[in-house]
Amino acid sequence: MPSTTSEPELDTTRPFRIRWTRTDCERFERDGLLTPGKYELIEGDILRKMPQKRPHAIALSLTCICLRQVFGDLYVEGPVAINVAPEDNPTSEPEPDLIVLSRPLTAFSETNPRPEDIRLLIEVSDATRYFDRGIKANLYARAGIVEYWSLDLVQRTLHVHREPSEGKYQRVSVYQENETIAPLAAVGQTILVSALLPPRTTE
């Protein structure tokens, strides 16, 4: 008679994985194996940054213009490398598309902005939208970044992440392009979502 078990036996063996560090990436840059600004280090993985397509570039420029109108030219920067939570820093150095700083960008001439220096973080998302709303959102939440926007160019929506706690954003709201959003760091200021998006293409 075959034996029975209440739970299936699971093979917990995991494939070998190398988790790269910031120190590794600095060495690779010195050796000419990596080019600064052409990759991101996320949770130990070196991710090649793809060339921007026109919709992404236009959305990035429009979003930058809108944010500078609200916060001032010296407080909006990107793409730029940032620090994250201390436990994530050795294996992660994300470069979000835009950040809004609590101090002028000239205050960070020698160091990356830290989570407490960031009032708002924005990723412009097309092919990477699920990654940006998953792994990256959790990375930013663990860092305690108070507000994170993911601008979805495919669905033409803005996903607003707030209230980071226990490694996740506890409140995520989706804004349609005809709606307005008020940043937490700019009381009384509103931005129309469609002002961040490239024009609709004609069929």
Task: Give the chain's domains with CATH numbers.
Answer: 53-196 (3.90.1570.10)
Per-residue burial over 137-150, b = 16 or more CB atoms within 10 Å of its CB, e = otherwise = bbbbbbbebbbbbb
Which pTM does this prediction carry?
0.87
Indicate left, alpha or beta for 52 from its phi (over 0: left) and psi (-120 to 50: alpha). Answer: beta
**How much is the pLDDT for 2?**
45
- Quick count: other Cβ atoms within 10 Å of Cβ 9? 6
Secondary structure class of 196 (helix, strand, coil): helix
**How much is the pLDDT for 16?**
66
Integer Cα distance of 114 and 106 in angstroms? 14
- Quick count: other Cβ atoms within 10 Å of Cβ 161? 24
Over the chain (203 residues), what is each successive 10-residue block's mean pLDDT?
44 68 93 91 89 91 97 95 95 96 94 96 91 94 97 95 94 95 93 94 63
**How much is the pLDDT for 202?**
62
**How much is the pLDDT for 3?**
39
